[in-house]
Amino acid sequence: MLIWSVIVGVAGAFATVLFREGIAHLQILFTGSEGSFVEMARRLPWHTRILLPTAGGFIAGCLLLMARRNAQAAGNKPIHTDYVEAVAIGDGVMPVGKSIWRSVSSLFTIASGGSIGREGPMVQLAALAASLIGRWVHFDPQRLRLLVACGAAAGITSAYNAPIAGAFFVTEIVLGAIVMESFGPIVVASVVANITMREFAGYKPPYEMPVFPPVTGVEVLLFVALGLLCGALAPRFLAMLDVTKAGFGRLKLPLPAKLALGGLVCGVLSVWTPEVWGNGYSVVNSILHSPWTWTALATVLVFKLVATAATVGSGAVGGVFTPTLFMGAVIGCLFGHGMNALWPHGTSAPFAYAMVGMGAFLAGATQAPLMAILMIFEMTLSYQVVLPLMLSCVVAYFVARATGTKSMYEITLLRNREEAERLRLRATQMRELVRPADTVVRADATVQDMTRVFLEYPVKYLYVTDDTGRFLGAVALADITNDLLQKRDTSNKHACDYLKASFDVLTPDMPLAVALQHFMSFQGERLPVIESAQQPRLAGVVYKTSLLDAYQRMNPER
């Protein structure tokens, strides 16, 4: 597996480079030059700024239609296109044709200035390469999923020059757990991809981080406040993207027209603020290395937010990972400006808050704080950033999880819901599983009365109570059947004559595990529940199937 992870790491790096080269060639085709999208937008006349993203969106929409037709022609077999689903809930098989068409569609959206991240298609192609390699060597589903996870880690590493964060991204978000059997190959693929990327001429990390200043004293508390702010805003950012998607979904327009409309919004905004073009690499680097006024930061934040929502909402294929880092940097820088105004001689420069804000906003959006901490640390390679970064990211994570129901990856929300359900079930008592007891008779019930109940309900036992509802015991179907088959006289017999007084019972406050032990020694489908040993009033019954269902949801690995 380690050997194949090395191969996948190299393949993932080449897939990323191939996508980068595709963007560069399309830039040259559209404008005659390559490089920063912001600089490219500044060089173009205003009408071209509007036309180019619109035309790029239309072409991207046509390519997405081709992807849909390709998927329909391949049949109705459910195959997960997204690498997260292919690993987390699928069998590791990714559709080749649909994935390639979607990646080419993303190429046109990005190269024409669309406000969306390029990391999504890069990771998708790296994971696709891993899936193809695994299928070629006939891996079983479990090993194929792990190989696709290795490809995803290689893609993240190649996009951000962060091999440790790339490995933790996959284990924390995609796999949901750090287990050495899977973490080892993922680390190998991530490191090999990073080494491979360094061999390509002109490769450099996307962000050029300045030296982080020392943070001492009470200023550390300001980074806690920044974490609170980012944790509260990150779910709102994702919710805005969902609202925009729903709005575009209600438009009675063909898909190419929707993507063209998203490109049009981005193009119109770029007439006043060319910084909305692209994924924001150059803007973030500018914020980190040069002074910005708070008005300029607020303007670019609002315009970029609208442009990203329009591009993503229209249905364009791409990632929101990089736009999330952009939002965090701008919000952090604005926060730093505010703190500098309130406390001019006791706070660090705004760029320090921008660097930490990138990690905190990412932690709130992905609900993966460990990955966010490691990513910013790897980008800065500064020990000074660790303490404020850890504080902000952890605070942002808990605030986002407590105040929002949004995450960048749906699998994270699914795992959160499952974990919350397991925690609830661990504290579950029998009172939550109690159902009404319909098969109850009095102690003076005749055999005829009991036979009638047995015929109405397919049960093995009837529960016997006195006039006050106090549980006395149970009557077994086998005992009455035996008397009837032996043709014994039962005219003077009543329920009290067949009573099993030492019948096993449950109580409402009994935990799930204890009740399960009672059922292990009982061969029936249900057990009676009494209020307490001191007051044995019959409260109802608990069915074995309900108990086992709750236990299975609490322990899905069993």
- Given 421, 450, 477, the domain boundary residue is 421
Residue 552 in this model has a pLDDT that exceeds 80: no
| The token pair that represents 391 in the structure block | 């504080």
| The token pair that represents 309 in the structure block | 């929502």
Quick one: 362 and 510 in the same domain? no
Quick one: 374 and 483 in the same domain? no
**Phi then psi for 32, rounded to 5 degrees?**
90, 0
pLDDT score for 88: 60
pLDDT score for 76: 46
Quick one: 263 and 222 in the same domain? yes
As a whole number, mean pLDDT of residues 457-465 equals: 88
538: which strand partners?
A: 530
What number of H helices and E strands is found in the chain? 22, 5
Quick one: 151 and 242 in the same domain? yes
Q: What is the CATH number of the domain that holds 299?
A: 1.10.3080.10
CA-closest candidate to residue 106, choices 79, 131, 128? 128
pLDDT score for 526: 87
Average pLDDT, rounded, for the chain: 86
- Given 370, 387, 421, the domain boundary residue is 421
Q: In what order do the strands lie in the sheet with 440-442?
A: 440-442, 461-465, 471-476
pLDDT score for 305: 94
Q: Judge residue 140's burial from the number of C-beta atoms within 10 Å of its C-beta, 0-12 exposed, 13-18 middle, 19 or more buried.
A: exposed
- Given 421, 445, 478, the domain boundary residue is 421
- The span from the CA of 472 to the CA of 358, in Å, is 67
In which band, very low, low, confident or very high, does the pLDDT at 233 lie, cut at 50, 70 and 90?
A: very high
**Cβ partners under 8 Å of residue 521, min gap 6:** 504
- The span from the CA of 42 to the CA of 294, in Å, is 22
Residue 557 in this model has a pLDDT that exceeds 70: no
pLDDT digits (tens, 9 = 90+) for 62-95: 998 888 776 665 554 445 556 666 666 677 788 8
Q: How far is CA 439 from the centre of its chain?
A: 46
In which band, very low, low, confident or very high, does the pLDDT at 32 lie, cut at 50, 70 and 90?
A: confident
As a whole number, mean pLDDT of residues 103-130 equals: 89
Quick one: 312 and 267 in the same domain? yes
For the chain, how are helix, strand and coil distributed in percent, rounded to 5? 65, 5, 25
As a whole number, mean pLDDT of residues 145-159 equals: 89
Residue 238 in this model has a pLDDT that exceeds 50: yes
Quick one: 272 and 318 in the same domain? yes
- The secondary element (H helix, E strand) that includes residue 31 is helix 2-31
- The span from the CA of 450 to the CA of 464, in Å, is 10
Quick one: 193 and 330 in the same domain? yes
Residue 412 in this model has a pLDDT that exceeds 70: no
pLDDT score for 303: 95
Q: Which range, of 84-93, 134-143, 413-422, averages the lowest pLDDT?
A: 413-422
3-state secondary structure of 212: coil
- Look at strands 461-465 and 471-476 and give their pairing: antiparallel
- The span from the CA of 188 to the CA of 178, in Å, is 15
Quick one: 470 and 330 in the same domain? no
- The secondary element (H helix, E strand) that includes residue 476 is strand 471-476
pLDDT digits (tens, 9 = 90+) for 262-284: 999 999 999 999 999 988 888 99
- The span from the CA of 126 to the CA of 39, in Å, is 29
Quick one: 88 and 131 in the same domain? yes
| Residue 355, CA distances (Å) to 136, 333, 335, 364, 388 in order | 43, 8, 12, 15, 10
Residue 193 · residue 154 · CB < 8 Å? yes
**Cβ partners under 8 Å of residue 517, min gap 6:** none
Quick one: 375 and 493 in the same domain? no
In which band, very low, low, confident or very high, does the pLDDT at 411 lie, cut at 50, 70 and 90?
A: low
pLDDT score for 324: 92
* Residue that has been written with the tokens 């009672």 in this structure: 518
Q: Who wins on pLDDT, 4 or 93?
A: 4
3-state secondary structure of 500: strand
> Residue 261 carries which side chain, given as an amino acid letter?
L
pLDDT digits (tens, 9 = 90+) for 338-367: 999 888 887 888 999 999 999 999 999 988
pLDDT digits (tens, 9 = 90+) for 419-434: 666 666 566 667 778 8
| The token pair that represents 514 in the structure block | 């204890």
pLDDT digits (tens, 9 = 90+) for 434-455: 888 888 989 888 988 899 888 8
245: which strand partners?
A: none
pLDDT score for 307: 94
Helices (H), 273-409: 281-289, 294-313, 321-342, 350-366, 369-380, 386-403
Q: What is the CA radius of gyration of the chain?
A: 31
CA-closest candidate to residue 460, choices 481, 442, 441? 481
Quick one: 131 and 183 in the same domain? yes
Instruction: Give me the number of domains the chain comprises.
Output: 2
pLDDT digits (tens, 9 = 90+) for 477-502: 888 888 888 888 888 888 888 888 78
Quick one: 382 and 474 in the same domain? no
* DSSP one-letter string for 152-186: HHHHHHHHHT-HHHHHHHIIIIIISS--HHHHHHH
Identify the domain containing residue 250 by its residue range.
2-421
- The span from the CA of 184 to the CA of 150, in Å, is 10
- The span from the CA of 144 to the CA of 140, in Å, is 6
Residue 521 in this model has a pLDDT that exceeds 60: yes
DSSP-derived secondary structure letter, 506: B
pLDDT score for 419: 64
**Phi then psi for 472, rounded to 5 degrees?**
-105, -30
pLDDT score for 222: 93
- The span from the CA of 441 to the CA of 451, in Å, is 11
Q: Which sign, positive or negative, has the C-alpha torsion 380, 383, 388, 393?
A: positive
Q: What is the CATH number of the domain that holds 450?
A: 3.10.580.10
* Residue that has been written with the tokens 């959006």 in this structure: 365
